[in-house]
Amino acid sequence: MTDPEILRYTQETGDFSRMLQSIPYAAWIGLQCERFGDDLIFRLPCKDSNLGNPILPAIHGGVIGGFMEMSANIYLIMSQESLRMPRIVDFSLDYLRAGLNRETYAECRLTRQGNRVANVMVTAWQKSRSQPIATARAHFLLED
């Protein structure tokens, strides 16, 4: 399947497995996505290969950042009616607490979408949404 076919399949069926397997980094960190009504929840499973500090043990900050950036990108793709591929312009990440070696979740919110630019907020948490481990703002350029 080509990229547009995979995106169309994902939009039509809600099955994210083909899309996530077609993105090498998403497959490597184990990124998963599920739709609950209109909401998408992204999941980063507990994996030893995602650890940056095995003594705590804590997830590597780059893995958390990559997970959140990829979640924002997928969220934006899925929220559009057309199959435009967004290009990241800026990504700003605030680490709020250690991401321990347990399942991590992310939720995205589209804060602005124009004809050429879109902004997405991302919140990542582990045990409780009310205690996020990181928040991020992603700015994308939308091209035809």
pLDDT at 1 over 70: no
Beta-carbon contacts of 18 under 8 Å, excluding residues fewer than 6 positions away, are: 1, 6, 9, 10
Whole-angstrom Cα distance, residue 107 to residue 121?
8
Determine the pLDDT at residue 140.
96
Beta-carbon contacts of 12 under 8 Å, excluding residues fewer than 6 positions away, are: none
Whole-angstrom Cα distance, residue 28 to residue 89?
24
Residue ranges in 41-127 assigned as alpha helix (H): 61-79
Q: Residues 52, 107: contact at Cβ < 8 Å?
A: no
Average pLDDT score over residue span 64-77: 96
Q: What's the predicted TM-score (pTM) here?
A: 0.93
Determine the pLDDT at residue 30.
97
Q: How far apart are the first and last CA of the chain?
A: 20
Q: Which CATH number belongs to the domain containing residue 40 in this structure?
A: 3.10.129.10
pLDDT at 2 over 60: no
Determine the pLDDT at residue 143.
78
pLDDT tens track for 24-51: 999 999 999 999 888 999 999 999 999 9
Whole-angstrom Cα distance, residue 127 to residue 104?
8
pLDDT at 85 over 80: no
Determine the pLDDT at residue 73.
94
The range of the structural domain enclosing residue 66 comes to 4-142
Whole-angstrom Cα distance, residue 88 to residue 5?
22
Q: Between 141 and 7, name the one with better pLDDT.
A: 141
pLDDT class for 90, splitting at 50, 70, 90?
A: very high
Average pLDDT score over residue span 4-30: 90
Q: Quote the number of domains for the chain.
A: 1
Q: Can you read off the two tokens belonging to residue 4? A: 């547009």
